[in-house]
Structure 1
Amino acid sequence: MADADLADLDAFAAVARARSFRGAAAVRGVSPSSLSEAVRRLEARLGVRLLNRTTRSVTPTEAGARLLERLAPALGEVAAALDAINSVRDSPTGTLRLNVPTIVARLVLPPIACAFLARHPGVTLEVVAEDSFIDVLAAGFDAGVRYDERLEQDMIAVPIGPRRQRYAAAAAPSYLARHGTPAHPRDLLAHACIRHRFPSGVALPWEFERDGEVVRISPKGPLVASNLDLEVAAAEAGLGVIATFEAALAPALTRGTLVPVMADWWQSFSGPFLYYAGRDHLPAPLRAFVAFLRERARSGADEGPPVRPGRGAAAHPESSSDL
């Protein structure tokens, strides 16, 4: 087939895996219309429909599913062959695509990404920050970052960033002066609280832990948002108690616009992990990134000792009480 056909086949595979023209386009840095045209061109040449398209979904037809099954290994071999050239370079080149939670993009990734890119100027790092749990490989990413309870069993996990983190609760001095300071998580049920809602629509319970006891509560309050800046600003304005990652509250705690609440109940948990499929030939940019993370771990650049993936106290309902 002509050279253009290989690009069209690659475009079809990307859309079929992502089940979305927009999703595939976002990962690849192209327009949805260019992918749509590539698929139409391929379908016209083959004389068969490969994708069923509706306003809400894109799914492979039977012919498309069969083509994708045979095509994926072949495209992988082509990518591996091209990537082998990187083995003779002093520094790898190419694109590394990562899918990470928004909190990781904000608090963990910036110093790591900047140091990595300074060392490997031939690498382009593409990061999509979102809080929906997707199949990152099927969506066209090289790797993802998740916390231990979200790691897939068949993936390789490498620690990234701090190895221990905490959820913290805080409130503005003005709020505490008006409403008093809670001493126990259950006291928050009588307080105004600022909640976070994920794109899925879920607002998770707040978890607190002390001496092996885990308490989960679902408090109420004047604001439920999906933007951390707005949530922190509301807390600083004295609208209620906020509970989130300690690092996200650190600037406000340092300024004194927020003060700690129930610090002896703050729950500690293991830090995030980079995860990727175990395969013999990793793309050179991903291989370099993994080596970079392991070097940081050996040098102690990230705080705390490495923590093995595993479910923490919050995963054991028998040791908790839900309110």
Structure 2
Amino acid sequence: MANLEDLAAFVAVVREGGFRGAARATGTSASRLSEALRRLETQLGVRLLHRTTRNVAPTDAGARLLERLRPALSEVESALDVVNGFRDRPAGRLRLNVPVNVAHTILPRIVPPFLAAYPDICVEVIAQDRFVDLVAENCDAGIRYEERLEQDMIAVPIGPRWQRFATAAAPAYLNQRGRPAHPRDLLDHSCLRIRHASGAAPPWQFERDGETVTVDAKGPLVVEIGAAIELAVAAAVAGNGIIFLFEDWLQPYFDRGELEPVLSDWWPGFSGPFLYYSGRRHLPAPLRAFVDFANAMRTKE
């Protein structure tokens, strides 16, 4: 029988797209993982990976093995995690897949005190806005908004239960270009836009007293959602135009006077995010601790 650690090394290398990424994710060395793959391929008598200088990909045999291994290794992890329940403090890794805005605005209020309360748990956060298969991505849980939740997932509220999108600009810009009185006035302004990874840049939508107004904003800067959002915020602070973003993200700039709210009585609201995870598997101790901790924080708020 193949060594379980060698099988786990194979899954990690494929999941992370290479030996270096897998080494970082598993806390070992790339050379050790490479040796594990050579040992496994020798024992099985087949090549499992296509290797290039830039990445790796499973062969047909590797893909079939991976398909069967993922659920099996997940069951092994669940079985070992049962022992975690007998510890004084939960230990292990908690891997979360979350939207960029959640990583920026919500998790900073939860993760630092959680780490202080559970020093034996390592939290790994993957921030991306595409919807992923948690099992395939080897994530314990995800955070998404209600319209993107799958029906067979367990979902619990996390963070604020009501949020808004906000429009804002630097006072100097508004003093020079004027302050919009209606969303349609934005058509005469420089707007700083954010597009999805798919390439779509959705129009800006506003609501007031049952009326909905959609504006196809135009302007000098378009950034893809992710780390580049901070560039759009910096451009707004510098006076390059009006930005449309999560109110929570912009609030510190409002507090410091670097940005001024625009059309605040038109800002659209939406329900807050949910922490979700599969109900078909044993709940790992680190995830159980995080769920309880997040619920306790929300109750206090």
Q: Which interval holds the TM-score relative to the shorter structure?
A: 0.7 to 0.9
Q: Determine the structure 2 residue equivalent to 1:307.
A: none
| C-alpha contact (below 8 Å) 2:91/2:286 kept by paired residues | yes
Taking structure 2 as the reference length, the TM-score comes to: 0.88
The one-letter code matched in structure 2 to 1:45 is Q
Whether the aligned pair in 1 keeps the contact of 2:70 and 2:136 (CA below 8 Å) is: no
237-246 vs 67-76, which moves further? 67-76
2:258 corresponds to 1:257: yes
The structural deviation recorded for 1:37 is: 4.5
Instruction: Give the 5 Å matches for 1:24-173.
Output: 24=22, 27-29=25-27, 34-52=32-50, 59-173=57-171
Out of 206-215 and 88-97, give the one that drifted further.
206-215
Q: Indicate how the Cα distance of structure 1 residues 34 and 217 shifts in structure 2: closer, same or farther if over 3 A, else same.
A: farther
Matches within 5 A, 1:259-278: 259-278=260-279
Match of 2:236 in 1: 235
- Contact between 1:24 and 1:139, CA under 8 Å: does it hold in 2? no
| SS of equivalent to 2:124 | strand
How far the C-alpha of 1:76 sits from its partner, in A, is 2.4
In the alignment, which of 185, 190, 193 is matched to residue 191 of structure 2?
A: 193
Return 5+ residue gaps in structure 1 as ranges: 302-323
CA RMSD of aligned residues (A): 2.5
1:213 counterpart residue number: 211
* 1:20 maps onto 2:21 in alignment: no
- Equivalence for 1:285: 286
Distance 1:221 1:273, change over 3 A: same
> Which amino acid in 2 is paired with 1:46?
L
Find the residue that maps to 1:251 and give its secondary structure: helix
After the TM superposition, which of the residue ranges 202-211 and 88-97 deviates more from structure 2? 202-211
Q: CA separation in 2, counterparts of 1:151 and 1:130?
A: 15
- How far apart are 1:15 and its partner, in Å? 4.0
User: What is the CA-CA distance between 1:288 and the residue it aligns to?
Assistant: 1.1
Quote the Cα distance in structure 1 between the aligned partners of 2:217 and 2:113: 40
C-alpha displacement of 1:114: 1.4
Are residues 128 and 29 of structure 1, via their aligned partners in 2, closer, same or farther at CA, if it must alter by over 3 Å?
farther
What letter matches 1:237 in structure 2? A
**Partner residue, 1:306:** none
Distance 1:219 1:65 in 2: 45
Cα distance between partner residues in 2 of 1:154 and 1:104? 22
Shift of 1:60: 4.0
Distance 2:270 2:35 in 1: 47
Cα 1:219–1:76, aligned 2, differ >3 Å: closer, same or farther? same
Per-residue deviation, residues 218-247 of structure 1 (Å, max 9, x unmatched): 311122234233222211221111110111
Q: How does 1:174-185 map to 2 (within 5 A)?
A: 174-185=172-183
| Cα distance per residue 1:9-57 (max 9 Å; x no partner) | 01223344x3723665554455666545433432222111234456887
Contact 2:195 2:201 in 1 (8 A): yes
CA contact (8 A) 1:27 1:140 kept: no
1:274 match: secondary structure: strand
Matched-pair contact (CA < 8 Å) for 1:206–1:218: yes
Provide Cα deviations, 1:153-183, integer angstroms capped at 9, x if missing partner.
Answer: 2221111111111100011222122222112
What is the aligned residue count? Answer: 297
Give the match's secondary structure for 1:97: strand
Q: Displacement, 1:269?
A: 0.8
Question: How far apart are residue 262 of structure 1 and its match?
Answer: 0.8
Q: State the distance in 1 between where 2:80 and 2:179 align.
A: 61
- Where 2:113 maps in the other structure, the secondary structure is helix
Distance 1:218 1:53 in 2: 46
- Alignment-mate amino acid for residue 220 of structure 1: K
The one-letter code matched in structure 1 to 2:229 is L
CA distance in 2: counterparts of 1:33 and 1:268, whole angstroms: 51
Fraction of identical pairs, as percent: 61
Segments of 5+ residues of structure 2 without an aligned counterpart are none
Secondary structure (helix, strand or coil) at the match of 1:135 reads coil
Alpha carbons 1:11, 1:35 under 8 Å: kept: yes
Look up the SS of the partner of 2:290 in the other structure.
helix
Q: Distance in 1 between matches of 2:52 and 2:213?
A: 45
Alpha-carbon spacing, 1:26–1:266, altered in 2? closer, same or farther (3 Å): farther
